[in-house]
């Protein structure tokens, strides 16, 4: 990030005057297509799509050098089952049944990749039909368990990725996934975890995307307040079931071809269908641009948990603590872990500023090209959100006596750093 982009970004957030970034979205009639890597910079993406929280599609030229696009795909553009079996056949992978609705998702099972590929071949031979249903390999943590060298190269546009930076620091988990499945597999209507951004590259195959800008999804709710499972279902046209459907505009539709890369903004509900046998690599990520959205989402999640167990509030010892435990079980994170997430990213940025180098240089690694200007922007965003966190009544009930540094101390350090780096 250069200084001009940082100043532009800081001005953008001041202009929001406390409104959530995901709530300020211009009306779109199409999704932009980015053709040439040489003429599209990090600053172009940051100012044109990341800050305003708008989707876009990158051409296959951005991924033409990826090893997976050569090794995982046959010359005819189909999945290279032989290569996948040889290199990953014994890996146990999660598989969803697209033909079964379980709440607003699909039930999952686990099986070796070789068994899934055997099913896939039979599914193709059966004219894309099977008594086992329509099975979709989803959320395979390939990057966590294998080296990605020769598989893909993280695009610079998505390199400010706090979510995976945090989990990598803990060496526990990640939010990098491989999806693969035959024609007809699909992902139901949803918004991404923690209201993260995501990016998705088709290694082979084609996808159809249906995008709804933030808050449009509310008009799709049924009379009980539930969101739809499938936005292509004719039942959405029934005003008795969906009385506010007319208040929702038509979705933005995108057909993603092989090699193309889709950027999914924060808080945009979407539904995705595989039009051909498809393999994709997908990452969820959070940074300073959508951190406030994540914090807002976590507050909503806690309120939902509290509402579910409200009847035990006066009789259950440590009711508030139990709500945090339930929240982490359901959502994967609670207020305590959110603070530790902020702390780890903040401390790495403070170290970067102190040394005047990029985060990876500060860790003894390779320069990502984001640099001190990005770190300065990050510190300002963390400070603004942490200021809201420390005064939240439910966070104040969290025992922070063993936290190092204490939240108030970290907030003071961040504010001092913001003041000291204004002239950078």
- Residues 89 and 83: beta-carbon distance below 8 Å: no
What pLDDT does residue 23 have? 67
Sequence-separated (6 or more) residues with CB below 8 Å from residue 100: 106, 107, 133
Find residue 105's DSSP bridge partners: 102
Res. 10: pLDDT tops 80: yes
Res. 304: pLDDT tops 80: yes
What pLDDT does residue 22 have? 65
What pLDDT does residue 42 have? 96
Please, what is the angle between helix 3-16 and helix 371-390, to 10°? 20
What pLDDT does residue 369 have? 47
Confidence label for 18 from pLDDT (cuts 50, 70 and 90) = confident
> How confident is the prediction for the chain on average, in pLDDT?
93
What percentage of the chain reaches a pLDDT higher than 90?
87
Enter the DSSP assignment of 187.
E
Confidence label for 102 from pLDDT (cuts 50, 70 and 90) = very high
Res. 266: pLDDT tops 90: yes
Confidence label for 157 from pLDDT (cuts 50, 70 and 90) = very high
pTM for the model: 0.94
- Residues 155 and 281: beta-carbon distance below 8 Å: no
Confidence label for 216 from pLDDT (cuts 50, 70 and 90) = very high
Res. 138: pLDDT tops 50: yes
- Residues 193 and 172: beta-carbon distance below 8 Å: no
Picking from 62, 53, 10, the residue whose alpha carbon sits closest to that of residue 33 is 62
Enumerate the H helices of 155-290 as residue ranges.
162-170
Res. 151: pLDDT tops 80: yes
Domain ranges of the chain: 25-285, 291-420
**Interatomic CA distance for residues 22 and 305, integer angstroms:** 23
Number of H helices, E strands in the chain: 14, 13
**Residue 397: count of CB within 10 angstroms of its CB:** 15
Lowest mean pLDDT among 195-199, 348-352, 358-362, 415-419: 358-362
State the number of CA atoms in the 13 A half-sphere of 415 facing the CB: 10
Homologous superfamily of 25-285: Cupin (2.60.120.650)
Tokens of 192: 């991404």
Which is higher by pLDDT, 364 or 162? 162
Q: In what order do the strands lie in the sheet with 135-140?
A: 32-34, 56-58, 261-264, 197-204, 278-285, 176-181, 135-140, 92-97, 108-112
pLDDT tens digits for range 354-407? 886 544 444 433 344 478 999 999 999 999 999 999 999 999 999 999 999 999
Collapsing DSSP states into helix, strand and coil, what is residue 188?
A: strand
What pLDDT does residue 340 have? 98
Average pLDDT of span 27-36:
94
Find residue 67's DSSP bridge partners: none
What pLDDT does residue 357 have? 54
pLDDT tens digits for range 112-136? 999 999 999 999 999 999 999 999 9
Residue 280 vs residues 26, 45, 69, 110, 257: alpha-carbon distances, Å: 29, 22, 10, 19, 11
pLDDT tens digits for range 267-278? 999 999 999 999
Res. 421: pLDDT tops 90: no
What pLDDT does residue 155 have? 96
Tokens of 20: 């959530």
Residue 48 vs residues 40, 83, 349: alpha-carbon distances, Å: 11, 39, 24
Collapsing DSSP states into helix, strand and coil, what is residue 125?
A: helix
- Residues 281 and 178: beta-carbon distance below 8 Å: yes
Task: Report how far apart the first and last C-alpha atoms of the chain are (Å, whole number).
Answer: 12
What pLDDT does residue 24 have? 65
């Amino acid at each position: 990030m250069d200084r001009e982009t940082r100043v532009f970004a800081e001005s953008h957030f001041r202009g929001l005057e406390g409104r959530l970034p995901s709530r300020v979205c211009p009306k779109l009639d199409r999704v932009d297509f980015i053709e040439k890597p040489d003429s599209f910079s990090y600053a172009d993406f940051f100012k044109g799509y990341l800050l305003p929280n708008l989707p876009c599609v990158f051409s296959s030229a951005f991924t033409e050098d990826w090893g997976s696009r050569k090794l995982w795909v046959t010359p005819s553009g189909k999945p290279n089952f032989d290569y996948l079996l040889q290199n990953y056949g014994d890996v146990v992978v999660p598989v969803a049944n697209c033909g079964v609705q379980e709440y607003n998702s699909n039930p999952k099972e686990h099986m070796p990749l070789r068994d899934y590929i055997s099913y896939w071949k039979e599914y193709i031979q059966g004219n894309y039909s099977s008594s086992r249903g329509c099975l979709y390999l989803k959320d395979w943590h390939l990057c966590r368990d294998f080296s990605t060298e020769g598989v893909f190269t993280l695009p610079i546009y998505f390199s400010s990725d706090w979510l995976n930076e945090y989990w990598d620091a803990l060496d526990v988990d990640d939010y990098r996934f491989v999806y693969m499945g035959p024609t007809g597999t699909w992902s139901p209507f949803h918004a991404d975890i923690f209201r993260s951004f995501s990016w998705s590259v088709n290694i082979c195959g084609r996808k159809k995307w249906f995008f709804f800008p933030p808050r449009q999804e509310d008009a799709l709710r049924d009379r009980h307040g539930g969101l739809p499972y499938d936005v292509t279902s004719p039942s959405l046209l029934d005003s008795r079931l969906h009385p506010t459907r007319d208040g929702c505009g038509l979705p933005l539709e995108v057909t993603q071809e092989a090699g193309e890369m889709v950027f999914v903004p924060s808080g945009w509900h979407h539904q995705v269908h595989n039009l051909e046998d498809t393999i994709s690599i997908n990452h969820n990520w959070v940074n300073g641009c959508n951190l406030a959205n994540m914090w807002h989402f976590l507050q909503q999640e806690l309120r939902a948990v509290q509402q579910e167990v409200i009847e035990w509030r006066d009789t259950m010892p440590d009711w508030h603590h139990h709500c945090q435990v339930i929240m982490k079980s359901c959502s994967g994170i609670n207020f305590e872990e959110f603070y530790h997430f902020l702390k780890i990213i903040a401390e790495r940025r403070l170290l970067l500023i102190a040394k005047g180098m990029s985060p990876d240089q500060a860790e003894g690694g390779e320069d990502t090209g984001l640099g001190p200007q990005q770190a300065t922007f990050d510190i300002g965003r963390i400070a603004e959100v942490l200021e809201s966190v420390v005064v939240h009544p439910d966070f104040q009930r969290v025992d922070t006596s063993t936290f190092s540094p204490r939240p108030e101390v970290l907030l003071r350090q961040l504010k001092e750093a913001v003041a000291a780096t204004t002239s950078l």
